[in-house]
Amino acid sequence: MNNSKKILLLGATISTVILTSCGGNKETETPAADTTAKAAAPAPASTVDEMVDFKFHYLTANIPSPMELVDALPKAGIAFSKDVLNVTENESKYNTSLQKAINFGIYSVDMAYLTTNEEYSLVKGYLNTSRNLAKSLDLTETFDKVVGNRLTQNSENKDSLKKVIDEAYYEVDNYMRNNERALAATQMLTGSWLESQFITLSLIKDVAKNEKNAMLFDKIFEQKRHLESLVSLLKEYEKEKAFKPVIDQIYGLNNQYNSMKVDDASNSVFLNKLAASVARIRNGLVK
Amino acid sequence: MSDKILKALIQLFAIIGKPHEIHGSASRSTVALFLKQALNSEQVNEYLELYDFFLKTYDNKSDGEKRIKKTAVSSVKVLVICEQINEALTQKQKILVLVRLIEYIHASDEVDEQEFEFINTVYSSFRISDEEFEILFNLITQHDAKDNEALLIASEKNNNSYTKSKLLKIDHLQGELRVVHVASVDIYFVKYFGVLELSLNGISISDFRIYQLNNGSSIRGSKIQPIYYSDIISCFLNNSFKYPISFKVKQIEYNFSDGKKGLHPLSFEENSGNLIGIMGGSGAGKSTLLNILNGNAIPSAGSVWINGINLHTDKAKLAGVIGFVSQDDLLIEDLSVYQNLHFNAQLCFSNWSDEKIVEKVNQTLNDLGLYEIRDLKVGSPLDKIISGGQRKRLNIALELIREPGVLFVDEPTSGLSSRDSEIIIDLLKTLALKGKVVFVVIHQPSSDIFKVFDKLLILDKGGFPIYLGNPVDAVSHFKSAVNYLNPNESECILCGNVNPEQIFNIIETRVLDENGMPTNERKISPKEWNAIFIKEQSTEENDGSIIYIPIDQTYKKPGLLKQFTVFVKRDVLAKISNTQYLLINALEAPVLAFILAFMTRYQLPGQSYTFYNNKNLVAYIFMSVIVALFLGLTVSAEEIFKDRKIRKRETFLNLSKGAYLLSKIFILFIISALQTLFFTAIGNYIIGFQEMFLEYWLMLFAVSLFANALGLNISSAFKSAVTIYIIIPFLIIPQLLLSGLLVKFDELNPSLAAKSIVPKSGEIMASRWAFEALVVNQFKNNSYENKIYAFEKEIINASYAKGLWHNKMIELLEKKDAVSQQIVINELKAAGFNGFDAQQNIDVEKAKDFLSKIKKNNVDIYTRYNELRDHYFEKQASNEKLKNDLEINKMQFHNARIEDLAKNSRPLEDGIYAEAGWLHPNENNIYFNASNKHQIRAHFYAPQKFIAGKYYNTYFVNLLVILTMTIGCLIALYFDLLKILIDSFQNIAFKIKLRKG
C-alpha cells in the first residue's frame, strides 16, 4: 500500500471516528455514585442527569455524520477548494476547552473533505493539528489507537475502510462512555456540523441545480431537521457560560433554517444569505 | 643629569680653573671628556663655552695675590653648589664627579694648595669618606702605589712589597695595572701605569686616565691574556662569603627506566666560588647529570648534599637554593624584559618592599646589560624582538636575581656570538665569586672561556665520568694517557690558546683499519677512560662527612594570596600585550552570537518577526550551549601548556600549585563570564528574547566554566599543542551527540540507551544539563506559559493517571506473567495500595477497586483544573485589552518549537510504556516531575528533580550539576589525575612494545 493511499485511508478513518464518536457518548455515573472523589472537588459542570444522557444518546443518533455531506461534494461534481478550510496555523490560538473542542470538530470535517477529494499532501498537516488538539482534549489515547493501528496495518483492501470505521467508532464510543465527556462531545459535534454547512454552502450557493447535484440540494434541506436535533441537545448546556454565546448563535441560525422551504434549498439568494450566517458564526469560532 | 646640575659642575670646574690654560689645555680636555659622557658634541661645545665664560668671570676678579682671597670666597660658593649637587645626584654619580674633578686639577701639573683645599671642600660636602677619597686621589695623582686593602695591583712579577693590597700576576704585562674598589658604591676604577697598548672593552687605555670597570668588562692587550671583570673582583671577594655553599655528591648513579645506565658512579665536592664546566659529546649524560644535581631527577643510587641537606629527600628545606637555566627559553613572550624579571622577583622576595624589588630588578638589568631594552617585549623565538644573547642573559637574570646558592646553566653560549658568550661566562664567574657554586654545561668553548672555569668535568658516551679537575690540565692529562709528545704542553706556546677540541680528539681517537681509514671502533673505550679516572680519583678521596651549614634565606616564598595576585597580574599583562589574542577573544563571542542569531532568525513568509513563530529557537539554544563549550575550551586549552616552561623554572621556587591554578581559573572565569555575557546579550537581543537574560547568561557561563576546567585538564596533561587541538573534537563531539537534541536518549545504541531516565552516557555531558535546563526554563517560565503551566501540569498528570495509566494497569492486572506482575506490584505499592495477601499476591478485585478510586480522583482533578484553565482564558478573552495582551505575550515570550520539544509529542506510539518494572508516560515530559526513585537523575525535560526527599526546579538542579562537574574537573586538575591516567596508559603501551620488540 503506497503512502498516499495510507494517508487517504487514515484521514477518512480519523474523520469518521471523530465525527461518529460524537453520537455515542453516554453518561452513566451520577454524582451520588462518587464516593472516592476528594471532598473538596466541586461537582463537575459536565455532570448531567440520566435524562440528559438519554437525550444526548438519542439525539446524536439522529444526526447523520457531517462526513456524509462533504462526501457528497465530489460526487456532485463540485471542484475542490482549499479556501474553505480552517488553516492549521490557527491551532495555536485555541486556548480554552471550548475552542479546542469546536475546532477539533471543524478540523475533522476539513480532513474528511480533503480525504474525499484525495488531497493527500494536505492531510498530513491536518492530521498533526488534529492530534495536538486531541491531546489537549485528552483524547490522545483514543486518537492514537486508531491512527497508530491504521498506519502499521498493511491493509490493501479498499473495502476494509468501512470495517475500520466501524471498529474505530466503537473504540471512541466506548472511551466517551467511560469518561464523562458529553460536553466536549457536544461542542465537537457543533463544530463539525457548522463546518460541514460552511463548506457545502460556500461551494454550492451560486451553483445551479442539475441532475448530478440535485441530491446535494436535497441534503441541504434535510439539515433543517438535523439542526433541530442539535438545538435540543444544546438546550441542556445553556448553563455553560463559555458555551452559551455559541449556543445562542446556533439558535439564531436555527430560526433561519426553520424558515427554509423546499424551493429555498436551491434558491441562490436564500442560500447566499444562509451561507453568510453560517460563515459569520464559523469564522468567529476559528479565528 | 639636569641642566642645572651641569651648570653647577661647570662652575665648579671654572672656580678652580687656571685662566692661562683656556685653550687646548689638559684641564679643558678633562672637562670636555666629562661632558662627553653625558651630552652630544653640540651640547658639549655649548657647555665648554659656558666653562670658558665662567673661567673668565672668576679670573677677572683676581690676579696674583688676590688669588688666595678668591679661593676663600669661592669656597662658600663651592659649598652652595655642592649642596645643590647633593640633592640631585646619587652617591655613585658624585664619586664620578669627584674623580673627574681630581683628574681636572691634576691634568696639567702638581696639585697646589688651593686646589687641594677646594677638592677637600667638595668631597667632604659630598659626604665621601676620607679613606675612599684618599685612595682615589692617590690613584689619580700619585705615581707610586700606596699599600691599601681597596687596591689591586696587577703586574708581571709578584711584588712582595705590598702587604695589604691584592695582587694579580699577569704574564707579559709591563708596568702596573691598578684597580681601586670604592666599596660604598661598589665601583671599580682602573688605571694603567705602563707602556703597553691596552684596551678596555675595545677602547684604548691612555696611561694618565682612570676608567670605571663595569660588569662584563675586559682588559685586553696583544701580549697579555685578557683580564676579565671577574678576575679582578675575585681578588677582592676572595673567601669572604657570607653564606658559604658546600655541594657534595656521593656516588651517584642513574639508570633509565628501561634499565640502561645513564650515569656511572660519580663523587665530588664543590665549594663556594667555583665555576664548574661540564663537557661531553652528545649522549654522554650531561643533561641527566644536571637533572640529578638540580634535584629534578632522583638518582638510582648515591646522594647529593647541599650544606648538609639531602637534595632529594629534603627538597623543601632547599627551596630557592637551586637555580636552573635550561637550554630553552623560559620567558613569558608577551611580557617585556622588565616585566619578566619583575614578576619573577615578586615571587622570590615576598618580604621585600616594592621599591626594593624594583631597585633590585633595575640593578640586575644593569648588571646584565639589559637595562636599555627593559621595555621591549620578549617576543617568541620566531618573532624576535630582542637578540639571542639578550634572551639568554634574561634567562640567566631570572635565576640570578634571587641569587641561588647553586646555579645550573645548560649550554648558555650555544648560538651566541663569541663576545656574547664571553659576557655570559664572565657573568657566571662573577656570580661564583660572590660565593655561589655554578655548574655550566658547555659545548666547544673558546680558549678564553675554557680557561675561566675553575674545574672541568668531562663525561664520555654512556654516562662515564672521565675527568674532573683543572680545565687546562685536562689537555695534558689526556695527552699523557695516550703517550703524546710533550704532554705537559697544554696550550699553544705562541699564543697561549688552549684548544678544547683537542681533548675530544684524543678521547674519541678511532682505530685505523689496514688502509689507514678510521673505523667505528674507539681506541680507548669510555669504560677504559673511566677506569683511569677512578684510579686517579681514589687517591684524592674526599672525607664524605656531611656538615650542616646555614643557608642564605634571601629567597622568601610569598604567601598563597601574594603568589595568586602576582600570577594573576603577570598573566593579565601578558594577555593584554598580546593584541591578537585580545582581539580574537573579545570579538569571538559577539561575532558568533551575531552569526548564530542572525541566521536562525526565521520569520513566517509575509509576516513580521515573532518570537513565537521562530522555528529555529531550539537550534539557537542548542548552539549557544555548544558555543559556550567551545569558547570555554579554546580559551583554556593552551593555558597551562603554554606556561609549562615557566612552571618548570618555577619548580625550583617551590611555589604553590594551588595558587597558580587558582590564578588561571580566576582569569579564565572572568574571560568566560565576559564572553558569555556578550554572547547572550547580542544573541538574545537579535533572536528576540525579552526576558530571562540572567538565566541564559548564568547557564552559558556555567557551561563555559566547565569547559575551562576541562580545557585546563587537557592543557596540563598533554605534551604538545597539536595533541591538545586534536583532543578538542573528542570532547566536543560527544557533547554534541549526547546533548539530548540531536539523538534522543532512547534511540541510542541499545547498550547505551534509556528512556525513563537519561542514560549514564548522557549524564556526564555538560551540554545535556545546560540544554535541558534552558529548554525547560524557557518553556515553563516564560511570561505566557508561567500563568497556565501549573494548571496544565495538573491536567496532564490527571489525564495520564485516569486514562493511560489506569487502562494499562487494568490490562496488566489481567496478565499473569512475571514482568507484568512486577510492574503492577511496583506501581500499586507506590500509589499506596495495601491489598496484598500473605504471599504478596495481589487481590485483583481490591486492586481494581483501588484503581477506580484513583481514576475517580483524577477525573475530578482533571475537571477542576480544566475549568480553572478555561476560566483564565475566558477572563483573558473578556476584554480586548487583556485579549491583546495575551496574544502579545504569547508571540513575544512563548515559542512553538520549544513547546513541541518540551511536550515531546510522539505520534504513532503508545502514550505509555514500561521500563525496569515501572510504567512511564511516553509524552509530555515537561509536565511530569522526576521520579523519586532516583536522586537528581530524571527523564529528559523533567520540570523538577528529586534530591534528598525534596523537589527542586530543573534549572537550579542542572546548574548545580554543571558546577559540581566543574569542581570535579578542578580537583582532577589539582591532582593531575588525567596526566596520571595518560602516563599509566603510556607505560602499559611501552611495556607491550618492549615485550613484542
- What is the CATH classification number for the domain harbouring B531? 3.40.50.300
Residues listed for chain B: 997
Query: Of all residues in chain B, what percent carry a pLDDT higher than 90?
Result: 20
Instruction: Look up the CATH number of the domain holding residue B232.
Output: 2.60.200.20
Find the mean pLDDT for residues B560-573.
89
The winner for highest mean pLDDT among B62-66, B185-189, B704-708, B914-918 is B704-708
Is B807 part of the contact surface with chain A (CB cutoff 8 Å)? yes
pLDDT at residue B942 is higher than 60: yes
pLDDT of residue A148: 54
**What distance in Å separates residue A142's CA from the closest CA in chain B?**
10
Out of B612, B807, B860, closest to residue A37 by CB: B860
For residue B7, being part of any structural domain is answered with: yes
Contacts of B645 (CB under 8 A, 6+ apart): B326, B328, B329, B330
Summarised one tens digit per residue, pLDDT across range A259-280 is: 888 777 777 888 899 999 999 9
**Is the C-alpha dihedral spanning B655, B661, B662, B666 positive or negative?**
positive
Last residue of a domain, one of B128, B151, B184: B128
Find the mean pLDDT for residues B279-285.
83
Q: Looking at chain A from residue 23 to 52, which residues have their Cβ under 8 Å from any Cβ of chain B? A: 34, 36-38, 41-42, 44-46
CB-based contact A148 B870, cutoff 8 Å: no
Is B910 part of the contact surface with chain A (CB cutoff 8 Å)? yes
pLDDT at residue A8 is higher than 60: no
pLDDT of residue B958: 95
**What's the predicted TM-score (pTM) here?**
0.74
For residue B273, being part of any structural domain is answered with: yes
Out of B853, B857, B866, closest to residue A97 by CB: B866
**What distance in Å separates residue B832's CA from the closest CA in chain A?**
15
**How far is Cα B48 from Cα B46, in angstroms, rounded to an integer?**
5
3-state SS assignment for residue B275: strand
Name the residue among A12, A44, A18 with its Cα closest to residue A101. Answer: A18
**How far is Cα B220 from Cα B223, in angstroms, rounded to an integer?**
8
**How far is Cα A74 from Cα A213, in angstroms, rounded to an integer?**
10
Residues in chain A within 8 Å Cβ distance of B886:
95
pLDDT at residue A156 is higher than 50: no
For residue B286, being part of any structural domain is answered with: yes
**How far is Cα B15 from Cα B735, in angstroms, rounded to an integer?**
86
CB-based contact A42 B907, cutoff 8 Å: no
CB-based contact B857 A138, cutoff 8 Å: no
pLDDT category of residue B623 using cuts at 50, 70 and 90: very high
Contacts of B956 (CB under 8 A, 6+ apart): none
pLDDT of residue B674: 94
Element (H, E) at B519: strand B518-522
Residue B38: how many CB atoms within 10 A of its CB? 13
pLDDT at residue B437 is higher than 80: yes
pLDDT of residue A44: 40
SS3 track for B153-208: EEECCCCCCCCCCEEEECCCCCCEEEEEEECCCCEEEEEEECCCCEEECCEECCCC
pLDDT at residue B75 is higher than 80: no
**How far is Cα A25 from Cα B890, in angstroms, rounded to an integer?**
35
Indicate if B32 and B75 belong to the same structural domain.
yes
**Is the C-alpha dihedral spanning B947, B950, B956, B960 positive or negative?**
negative
Name the residue among B392, B405, B407, B502 with its Cα closest to residue B458. Answer: B502
Last residue of a domain, one of B385, B403, B421: B403
Find the mean pLDDT for residues A140-147.
65
Indicate if B177 and B208 belong to the same structural domain.
yes
pLDDT of residue B172: 81
- Residue B487, classified by CB atoms within 10 Å of its CB into exposed (0-12), middle (13-18) or buried (19+), is middle
**How far is Cα B48 from Cα B50, in angstroms, rounded to an integer?**
5
Summarised one tens digit per residue, pLDDT across range A165-205 is: 445 444 555 565 456 677 887 888 888 889 989 999 999 88
- ipTM, two decimals: 0.72
pLDDT of residue A265: 73
pLDDT at residue B239 is higher than 60: no
* Amino acid, res. B790: A
For residue B972, being part of any structural domain is answered with: no
The winner for highest mean pLDDT among B117-121, B493-497, B883-887 is B883-887
pLDDT category of residue A119 using cuts at 50, 70 and 90: confident
pLDDT of residue B103: 80
Indicate if B446 and B303 belong to the same structural domain.
yes
Find the mean pLDDT for residues B574-595.
90
Find the mean pLDDT for residues B739-758.
88
Indicate if B181 and B269 belong to the same structural domain.
no
Residue B372: how many CB atoms within 10 A of its CB? 11
**What distance in Å separates residue A96's CA from the closest CA in chain B?**
5
pLDDT at residue A63 is higher than 70: no
Indicate if B280 and B398 belong to the same structural domain.
no
Q: Are B170 and B156 in contact (CB under 8 A)?
A: yes
In whole angstroms, what separates CA B299 from the centre of its chain? 27
Asked which of A148-152, B574-578, B616-620 is least confident by mean pLDDT, the reply is: A148-152
Q: Are B670 and B603 in contact (CB under 8 A)?
A: no
Summarised one tens digit per residue, pLDDT across range B543-556 is: 556 666 777 666 67
pLDDT at residue B675 is higher than 60: yes
- Give A24 or A163, the one with higher predicted confidence: A163
Q: Are A275 and A201 in contact (CB under 8 A)?
A: yes
For residue B27, being part of any structural domain is answered with: yes
Is B476 part of the contact surface with chain A (CB cutoff 8 Å)? no
Provide the domain count of chain B. 4
Indicate the DSSP class of residue B801: I
Contacts of B697 (CB under 8 A, 6+ apart): B676, B677, B680, B681
Name the residue among A101, A108, A103 with its Cα closest to residue A123. Answer: A108
Is B297 part of the contact surface with chain A (CB cutoff 8 Å)? no
Indicate if B287 and B422 belong to the same structural domain.
yes
Find the mean pLDDT for residues B471-484.
78
Calculate ∠ Cα B969-B972-B978, nearest 5°: 105
* The C-alpha cell that represents B100 in the structure block: 673627574
**How far is Cα B98 from Cα B301, in angstroms, rounded to an integer?**
60
**What distance in Å separates residue A195's CA from the closest CA in chain B?**
23
Indicate if B115 and B148 belong to the same structural domain.
no
Indicate if B420 and B399 belong to the same structural domain.
no
Among chain B residues, the shortest Cα distance to A124 is held by B907
Q: Please list the residues that pair with B255 across neighbouring strands.
A: B261
Asked which of A226-230, B407-411, B476-480, B737-741 is least confident by mean pLDDT, the reply is: B476-480
Q: What is the DSSP string of B587-610?
A: HHHHHHHHHHHHHT----TTS---
**What distance in Å separates residue B873's CA from the closest CA in chain A?**
6
Find the mean pLDDT for residues B332-336.
86
For residue B309, being part of any structural domain is answered with: yes
Summarised one tens digit per residue, pLDDT across range B387-433 is: 888 888 888 888 888 778 888 988 888 877 887 788 888 888 888 88
Name the residue among B510, B532, B533 with its Cα closest to residue B521. Answer: B510
Q: What share of chain B is helix, strand, coil (3-state, %, to 5)?
A: 55, 15, 30
Out of B857, B876, B923, closest to residue A38 by CB: B857
For residue B743, being part of any structural domain is answered with: no
Out of A45, A131, A141, closest to residue B907 by CB: A131
pLDDT at residue B100 is higher than 70: yes
* Amino acid, res. B255: N
For residue B864, being part of any structural domain is answered with: no
Find the mean pLDDT for residues B283-300.
86
pLDDT category of residue B269 using cuts at 50, 70 and 90: confident
Q: How far is CA B521 from CA B462, B505, B527, B946, in A?
A: 15, 14, 13, 77
Structural domain that includes position B425: 246-321+404-475+524-555
pLDDT category of residue B736 using cuts at 50, 70 and 90: very high
Out of A92, A96, A135, closest to residue B896 by CB: A92
Q: Where are chain A's structural domains?
A: 3-27+46-286
Mean pLDDT of chain B: 83
* Amino acid, res. A143: F
Q: What is the CA radius of gyration of chain A?
A: 19
Summarised one tens digit per residue, pLDDT across range B646-672 is: 887 777 777 888 899 999 999 999 999
Interaxial angle between packed helices B130-141 and B91-106, expressed in degrees from 0 to 180 and rounded to the nearest 10: 40
pLDDT of residue A146: 64
* Amino acid, res. A255: N
3-state SS assignment for residue A33: helix
pLDDT at residue B148 is higher than 70: yes
Out of B804, B856, B877, closest to residue A141 by CB: B804
**Is the C-alpha dihedral spanning B459, B461, B466, B472 positive or negative?**
negative
